[in-house]
Amino acid sequence: MRATLGRVVLLLSASALFAQTPTTPHTYEAASVKLNTSGSGHSGSDGSKGQIMITNLSLHRLIERAYNVKPPQVSGPDWLDSVRVDIAAKYPPDTSDSDHALMLRALLEERFKLAIHRETKELPGYGLVVAKGGFKLKPVDAEDDDTHHQGERIQSLQAKGTSMALLADLVSRYLNVLVMDKTGIGGVYNFELRWIADDQNAEHADYIPTLPVALQETLGVRLQAQKVPVEVLVVDHVERAPTEN
């Protein structure tokens, strides 16, 4: 009897780590949402079958992921970039890829009271295309992407199982411009990028390229200027802090 009670207590303690939500095809089975006030320049997202761990992502970035848009496509308060969030969530292992964004969207609507409307605008941006020297990576076998970004003036990105579409999204966020994947390259890739936020390298003994140059030198892709009509999400309401887990 005591052993049974002990197991019950352990199960209840473990479940307290996550706020339970009704299970529907478009909601997480359980999710913990907390503000990250570490001030760290490191952020990341780790996914596996049945769970996702998001660390130190901005609320702006989470909205991008939830609605599958680029940074310039989100119009809202300036503080969206300064509010940083940690999320640990569980979902059925057989969840389809199309449902992941819907789950995150529902979570933001529930915990941050997010409300948006849509408008169409023509914005300046870039296409991510193959550089003159050709694409430099070979595809890998990977079911889940794993990306880690860190740094301020000198930045780095470690990417595993990452597609060119996801790379375009990341570059769009880092440069705060609209970047669309126009490479025509499928598959996923492992790579590491290191770049400087500006082109002033005088104080560094070793050469460090800017991000556009690093893309061409390391991966064999480049940014090509273009204008595109895009849908813009206008944030009508959002809270600075999530409701309690």
DSSP character for 243? P
| Domain ranges (residues) in the chain | 7-237
Residue 23 near residue 106 (C-beta atoms within 8 A): no
Chain-centroid distance, C-alpha 244: 23
Put residue 82 in one of left, alpha, beta given phi > 0 → left and psi -120 to 50 → alpha.
alpha
Q: What is the pLDDT of residue 42?
A: 86
Residue 51 near residue 90 (C-beta atoms within 8 A): yes
Reported as a single tens digit per residue, the pLDDT across 127-156 is 999 999 999 999 999 767 788 888 888 999
Q: What is the pLDDT of residue 25?
A: 59
Arithmetic mean of pLDDT, 225-236: 90
Worst-scoring range by mean pLDDT, 17-21, 176-180, 240-244? 17-21
Q: Which residue did the predictor score with more confidence, 132 or 122?
A: 132
Q: What is the pLDDT of residue 86?
A: 96
Q: What is the pLDDT of residue 23?
A: 46
Distance CA 62, CA 148 (A): 15
- pLDDT category, 41, cuts 50, 70, 90? confident
- pLDDT category, 10, cuts 50, 70, 90? very low
**Most confident listed range (43-47, 92-96, 121-125, 127-131):** 127-131
Which residues 6+ apart lie within 8 Å of 58 measured at CB?
A: 80, 81, 82, 83, 84, 85
Reported as a single tens digit per residue, the pLDDT across 169-214 is 899 888 988 898 999 999 999 999 999 987 655 455 478 899 999 9
The closest alpha carbon to 233, from 122, 116, 80, 61, belongs to: 116
Q: Where are the beta strands (DSSP E) in the chain?
A: 19-20, 30-35, 43-48, 51-58, 74-75, 84-90, 115-130, 146-151, 154-162, 178-181, 189-196, 221-237
- pLDDT category, 16, cuts 50, 70, 90? very low
Q: What is the pLDDT of residue 108?
A: 97
Q: What is the pLDDT of residue 92?
A: 87
